[in-house]
Chain A
């Protein structure tokens, strides 16, 4: 028997090689689930905002302070993505928000399927805003649509003002750039205007905001913008 194909021929024979055209988009499965998330969220009047930034950029602190300011008037929930632990989900709960932790293990981003499962478990109420706090990473999360209304890149002044040039994909995929920890700007060599200019060089349509969750500077503008993203409950 031929060892290659098990065809029963006792002699060595030429195996015909043929080429099969597949033309399969490898991100298609994620995009399909993301489109389904977007459709389901639309019918429930739920807005999803996908926060992407490095570990330590201040994403969780920003969400804690946002919840504290908006909680009485706006229902907020968070799908927390981290490789391990439920520490961030617990922080959100302590701040008064609803949260669900997704642990990705070795994974470096949240995909549409993980977010679909997170949303199913959270069952956000009509008119609410759900933040997806992506796994701390400026690279891979940029590639994955999870069904969000907007991708928001969160970066702090301690990270260096040339990051938009070094990590262009995420700045291209995002529609908003939130610069955090501006209370620390006087202590670090960070040129805010140069950083924003570099970001707009990558993506001319990128909206920019600056704030400090700790001092409260800029938080009012940010919270007003978040409030505007919410759809009416009915």
Chain B
């Protein structure tokens, strides 16, 4: 989750993020429920704080940060 936060900041700088979209494969071993829980904790005090987390579930093994919405 810290990787996600640093990857976003690296790409978009300090712009405020309002939404984060992830692609999570059902075989990736990452549970959407657990990701949502960690997301709130990991984004606190960062430009991602308060952003909504949208998760597209796929049948594969991928765990990918697809895009973010910024203002």
Q: Which residues of A contact B (CB under 8 A)?
A: 4-5, 15-27, 29, 139-140, 142-143, 169, 172
Contact = CB atoms under 8 A, between A and B. Distances in A.
Give chain B's interface residue range (CB within 8 Å of chain A): 20 to 34
Closest 9 pairs (CB-CB, A-B): A24-B65, A15-B71, A143-B29, A24-B7, A26-B63, A21-B67, A22-B65, A19-B69, A169-B29
Interface string B11-31: 110001010001000011110
Contacts of B7: 22, 24, 26
Nearest to A140: B29
Nearest to B18: A17
B36 interface: no
A18 B64 contact: no
Nearest to B24: A26
Contacts of A15: 71
A17 B16 CA distance: 10
Contacts of A139: 29
Given A19-B68, A25-B63, A169-B29, 18 more contacts: A4-B16, A4-B71, A15-B71, A17-B70, A18-B70, A20-B12, A20-B69, A22-B66, A23-B66, A24-B7, A24-B11, A25-B62, A25-B64, A25-B65, A26-B63, A27-B63, A140-B29, A143-B30
Interface of B is mostly: mixed
A20 B18 CA distance: 11
A27 B62 CA distance: 9
Given A5-B16, A139-B29, A26 B71 contact: no
B4 interface: yes
A20 B67 contact: yes
A32 B68 CA distance: 24
Interface string B25-51: 001111000000000000000000000
Contacts of B70: 17-18, 20
A29 B6 CA distance: 11
Contacts of A29: 3
Contacts of B3: 26, 29
